[in-house]
Amino acid sequence: MTTTAVPLDLTDPAVVADPYPAFARARAQAPVQWHEGLGLWLAFTHGECNAVLRDRRLGRIWRDREPAERFGSFNLIHRNALLEMEPPDHTRLRRLVSAAFARGHVERLRPWVAELAGRLADGLVERSGGREPVDVLSGMAEQLPVDVIAELLGIPLADRPLLRPWSNAIVKMYEYGRTTAVEDAAERAAAEFVAYLRGLVADRRAHPANDLVSSLVQTRDTDGDRLTEDELVTTCILLLDAGHEATVNVTGNGLLALLRHPDQLRRLREDPGLLPTAIEELMRFDSPLQLFERTATADVEVGGVTVPAGQKIAALLGAANRDPAVFADPDTLDVGRTDNPHLSFGAGIHFCLGAPLARVELQASFGALLDRTSRLELGGEPVRRPEFVIRGLAELPVVLAP
């Protein structure tokens, strides 16, 4: 087995703060390497990560967390999730969920998202006044995607403050080195979230509305198949957890990158038409999801090593997105970068279903911040979240001048 010369410690604060130098060192040694501590293979290059995501012999094979009686709700919301399924179950479920999305829900929300982003940006500018630092994470980045997905699903305004705490607790289960307290909090959050959504689904069955939950309840395919209640509840949770976590972290990581590269921020101000390519570049430059696991269903050769059946391999998306074999000057932020096949939304059959919605949200957020300010600058030291897999900030103090 190939091992890293310097083991990649995903709990090392220096790696959490900036994993990219460690990725570069490892990538120069071998494209795929065994990590003894994690007990899995790691893919460091774009080519190998892309292969891991696309090879049908490398699947998302869910195994319930043990003991099952301790993690009943957490297991339920993963056992029935698109992200944890392979064909034919994945094919059927994705077809049904895509049909519900195809009813125009994302486009229906586009003007509303732009208006919400503008309102939140105005609030930040008013509180800062060009003098006082304000936290963009709590003041905008965390609020907008939660409100958007809640609006998409049709969750009442009074209940929306429940959503982010549930999601935050659940996604901490994806990190390495979890404590018992973190696991207990995740199971509690999953149980409360499931119970809440069962009630919402029951209400939409009786009283349909113009929202995604109602569409998911009503959707049937050409064979008359439809979502089970567990699949429906799980889909709603996945949309919130996967959807808003990524958007929050692209907003925080991306804005920090722009603030630390004022030439690129200035370039974007001078040419707002670069916003779509800038969003893709911000996702590439500092990926919101760093690691995505697959399990071999047969012996598979990747990057010159054989991953035996039953063994896990993980695509390091942040490493793939900085691969110099694919990206010119990969450590340089370039908001005009057009040749940008980043893997931040995944690839293959598990490519992110919510990518169009995420792009709408991100373009609205960054567009509003640029439109409503003449000056954006760091107002203090950012605070990074201590987790590696889901990469983001806890605080981003910024001074905004109208």
Q: Give me the DSSP letters along 80-134.
A: T-GGG--TTHHHHHHHHHHHHHTTTHHHHHHHHHHHHHHHHHHHHHHHHTTTS-E
Any domain includes 88 = yes
Strand partners, 383: 395
Based on the structure, what is the number of domains in the chain? 1
What lies within 8 Å, CB to CB, of 305 at 6+ separation is 1, 2, 32, 34, 41
The whole model's pTM is what? 0.90
Classify residue 308: in a domain, yes or no: no
User: What per-residue confidence (pLDDT) applies to 5?
Assistant: 47
The answer to the question of residue 44 being in a domain is no
Residue 278 lies in a domain: yes
Q: Residue 398: what pLDDT?
A: 98
- The reply to whether 240 falls in a domain is yes
Nearest to 392 by CA among 401, 381, 383: 383
Residue 230 phi/psi, 5° resolution? -65, -40
Which 8-state DSSP code applies to residue 340? -
Which residues of the chain register pLDDT less than 50? 3-6
pLDDT tens profile 175-201:
888 899 999 999 999 999 999 999 999
C-alpha separations of 288 from 39, 48, 250, 381, 390 in Å: 23, 19, 6, 20, 6
Residue 69: both structure tokens together: 């009686």
Note whether residue 134 is domain-resident.
Answer: yes
Sheet holding 40-43, edge to edge: 32-35, 40-43, 312-316, 291-296, 58-59
The domain that holds 197 is classified in CATH as: 1.10.630.10
Token digits of residue 267: 């370039």
Q: Is 41 inside a domain boundary?
A: no
Residue 300 lies in a domain: no
Q: Are the CB atoms for 288 and 174 separated by under 8 Å?
A: no
Q: Could you tell me the residue range of the domain that residue 368 belongs to?
A: 66-285+345-401
End-to-end CA distance of the chain: 57
pLDDT of residue 4: 47
